[in-house]
Amino acid sequence: MINHEIKIAFEEYSTLAELSKADQNICQEAVKAMENSHSPYSKFRVGAALQLQSGKVIHGSNQENVAYPSGLCAERVALFNWGANHPADPIKTIAITAHTNDFEIIKPVTPCGSCLQVMAEYEKKQDEHLRIILYCIDGPVWVTTGVASFLPFMFFEDRLIAQ
């Protein structure tokens, strides 16, 4: 039997003001993205903003549906928009934030496994790590580089990639 241990690393900042202007800006874009959240069922609003290399910013917000499983997380709305419309313009940073009137959010919202897996796919596709910023409006900000920090066991199989 072998015991394995995996360490993940991320930075924690106590307020947004500690980040660079560029990082603060993309976090504010994630806040703006939340405006179009369609979340009448959970009342949990999530915004994601992608900073692209060209300077372009892409917004995504969670889109729910009365047929609950048909909804989609903010991150994948933004990421699939990128994949469909801007695949040649690398993603530098993704910022994610959330808000609800129902309770206080005091720690960053971490993307679900499916969203991390989608991020991992595009990170491989563009051959460049993403910076991931998890912005808690009333709490700390977590920053990491590379999806593997949050999803060390992402699914990946070279032999399934079309040549």
Binding of residue 62 to ligand THU (CB under 6 A)? yes
Residue 33 tokens read as 């993205």
Residue 11 among the catalytic residues: no
Which of 23, 64, 97, 119 is the binder for ligand THU (CB under 6 A)? 64
**Minimum distance from residue 49 beta carbon to ligand THU (Å):** 13
Which of 90, 108, 111, 140 is the binder for ligand THU (CB under 6 A)? 111
Which of 30, 31, 33, 39 is the binder for ligand THU (CB under 6 A)? 39
Instruction: Evaluate the CA torsion angle 20, 17, 152, 29 in order and state its sign.
Output: negative
Residue 95 tokens read as 């910022």
Q: Which phi and psi (to 5°) does residue 15 adopt? A: -145, 165
Binding of residue 109 to ligand THU (CB under 6 A)? yes
Residue 148 tokens read as 């593997």
